[in-house]
Structure 1
Amino acid sequence: MTYKIRAILDVENDVIRDILIDKSNNLETLHKVIANAFGFNGQEMASFYRTDNDWNQGEEIPLFDMSDAGESISMSTCIIEDTLKNDGDKLIYVYDFFSMWTFYVELTEVKSLPEDNLNLPKVVFAFGDAPETAPEKEFTSDNFNDDLDFDNDDFNEFGGFENIDDYDF
């Protein structure tokens, strides 16, 4: 089976790519195809993020296994058909954490195509050009200090802290 996946770059003007890919490929292959389809070399760090229908970011699927034991999830261990199971399933893809290129990725169609005439994966639709530089992203959070019930005087009850060598453990 072949999956048709739409990737939309999060920039002011529409930049879209539709990709045909075999469902048995892993997310690392999809990462390389998306990066190349938008004119990137694919050499930067990247991650996919599971998401719901409202594009709320969930679990990270990093390019490489970052765990000490080497048993954590990564793009190479996630098969596309296990990650995107139904039409409309979505992922957020972030490429190059310094520039924060962000893409909205969605499974748009599952096709049964003859294997002999396909060179998968391949880009089957392209609209728009990626800008030279990534748009600036502003990451903000709620001010959690407002929710905490203490002030700086609470930390001075130990007589201040200047050097860890002053303490005998």
Structure 2
Amino acid sequence: MLILFWTFFKIGIMSFGGGYACLPLIQSLIVNELHWITTQEFSSLVTISQMTPGPIAINAATFVGLKVGGFLGGIVATLGCIFPSCLIVGALAVLYQRYAQLDWLDAILRWLRPAVVGLIAVAGLTMIAPSMQAFGKPVLWIALFGASLFCFLKTKWNPVLILLGAGLVNWALCVVLSQWSIL
């Protein structure tokens, strides 16, 4: 179990650039060096990791851990993969609390906030455009988004209820539009 933890700890600490960037490292360690899975299983692992929620490295850790060490192995490998991030974020939180009163740090963070919002907006728009084209009739979904956003900003409704309501309206629209052969 220690080898399983240490292997995925190394993957977790070297996973800069996202899941796709760490795939060669995962393949090198898990397939080529340790022979825990075959190349065919690695291909399946990538497919499964893309279909399940969460980062690819964590999904891969869980998959390999389950195969190598059962349920406990899945937990150990997953913890090994996320532990470096927890350490880094914890260290950054301590440093931030210690040095938050510095004017230059506050200025840097003030400049970074709009950049982060912009990056999140670009990522959201990048995901929205293809999904709207795939489902057709984007005007209806834009209207649903606008109504949901309005409810979120102008009412005291719980965001979970707004999401559930939007999901139900979307489902109803899909049912009605498919029966009318509009979609």
Query: Where on the TM-score scale, by shorter chain, does this alignment land: which range?
Result: under 0.3
Q: Which has more strand, going by share of residues? A: 1
Relative contact order: is structure 1 or structure 2 higher (C-alpha 8 Å, sep ≥ 6)?
A: 1
Per the normalisation by structure 1, the TM-score is 0.26
